[in-house]
Amino acid sequence: ITRELSKRVKLPQYNTIDDAVHLLKKSKNIIVLTGAGISTSLGIPDFRSKETGLYSQLEHLGLSDPQEVFDITIFREDPSIFYSVAKDILPSTQKFSPTHAFIKLLQDKEKLLTNFTQNIDNLESYAGILPEKLIQCHGSFATATCVECGYRVKCEEIYKDLKAGRVARCDRCIRNMRLKPFGIKRKRSTNGLSTSKKKRQSYEDSTDDEDYDIAVAGVMKPDITFFGEDLPATFHDRLTKHDKDLVDLVIVIGTSLKVAPVSEVSGFLPPETPQIYISREPCQHVDFDIDMLGECDTIVTELCRRAGWDLKHEMIKEDD
C-alpha cells in the first residue's frame, strides 16, 4: 500500500468528544484498527509500554533488539527464544475487554465495516466479531503449522508446550521418524532449520541418534506473522478492493502504529474520511482529527454513554 500513501491532513471540523459521538452515531461503515492496547486490561502485556510492555521485559534474553523474538530468521535459527516468551502473550482465558465489546456493539448496530487487528490473541472471535468482519493482520495463535512438513494443527494441540515455554514439535514428523526401519541413517539437519549451535552440541554430546533427531524434528510455528514475513493477502485485498471506497469513519485504538504496513493504513484511506485515535499516549507521526488519550475501555464506555448506547461488560460498573 506504500505507493499510494499520502501525509494525512487533519480535518478542522472535528475536535471534541461530542464530535466523536456525532461521528459514531451517523457513520455506517466504520473501520476499527486495533493493537495490543485493547487487551492490556486483561493482563496481556503490549510490546512498547514502558515497564509493563513485553519489550522492556526481554533484556534477560540478551537480544540486541527485542523485536528479534518475532523475527523469522532468528526463529529459524533458534525457536526456543520465541517459545520462552510466547506464553506471556498467549491468553489463558477466553475473556475479552470492554473495548472488544465496543467493537462487537458496532457490529450489532451494523456500523462495523472491518476490524483490522494487529493482535494475535484471537480475542475478537471470543467477543463475537464475525470472521467476515475481521482481518487478523498479523495472523493469530488459533492455529500452528510445522515449518518442515506444513502439517497444521489447532493451537490447543501445542498449548501445553506453549504454556511451558517449550518448543512444540510436529507429531507427524516425529511419527514418521519412529516408523523408519532400523539401520537407516537419519539425516541430522532439518531443512535449514536447526536449534542453536550450542543446543545442537549438547544434544550431540548427550543423546543417541534417535533422541537427537526427535529433538530437532519439525518445529511448530503458531500462524502469526513474524517480522520478515508477508501479511495475509486478505489484509491488502480487503483494504484496497473493498473498504477504501466504503469507509466513512476510522477509529484507531490501542496501537503505537509503529509496525508497517498496518501503520500506513491511516494515510492510505481517503483524506476526507474522519479518523479518531484512542490510546494512552499521542501518536506523533499521524495527524488524527480527534485524539482521545487514556484507558481505551474507559473512553469507549464514555463514548457509548454519550451516544445513549448500552455497552454491557462485566468490567464496566454502573457508576463508570
| Chain residues in the site for ligand CNA (CB under 6 A) | 35-37, 39-41, 44, 46-49, 53-54, 89, 118-121, 138, 254-256, 258-259, 279-281, 295-296
Nearer to ligand CNA, 148 or 291 (CB): 291
Nearer to ligand CNA, 47 or 235 (CB): 47
Min dist. Cβ of residue 268 to ligand CNA (A): 17
Min dist. Cβ of residue 128 to ligand CNA (A): 17
Which strand ranges, in their side-by-side order, compose the sheet holding 152-154?
152-154, 139-146, 220-224
Looking from the CA of 81 toward its CB, the CA atoms found within 13 Å total 24
Nearer to ligand CNA, 138 or 221 (CB): 138
Min dist. Cβ of residue 302 to ligand CNA (A): 13
Nearer to ligand CNA, 48 or 76 (CB): 48
Cis peptide preceding 271, ω within 30 of 0: no
Min dist. Cβ of residue 153 to ligand CNA (A): 20
Of 146, 148, 99, 149, nearest to 119 (Cα)?
99
Catalytic residue, from 22, 60, 100, 138: name it.
138
Do the beta carbons of residue 307 and residue 19 sit within 8 Å? no
Q: Is 236 a catalytic residue?
A: no
Min dist. Cβ of residue 297 to ligand CNA (A): 6
Nearer to ligand CNA, 120 or 219 (CB): 120
Catalytic site positions: 138
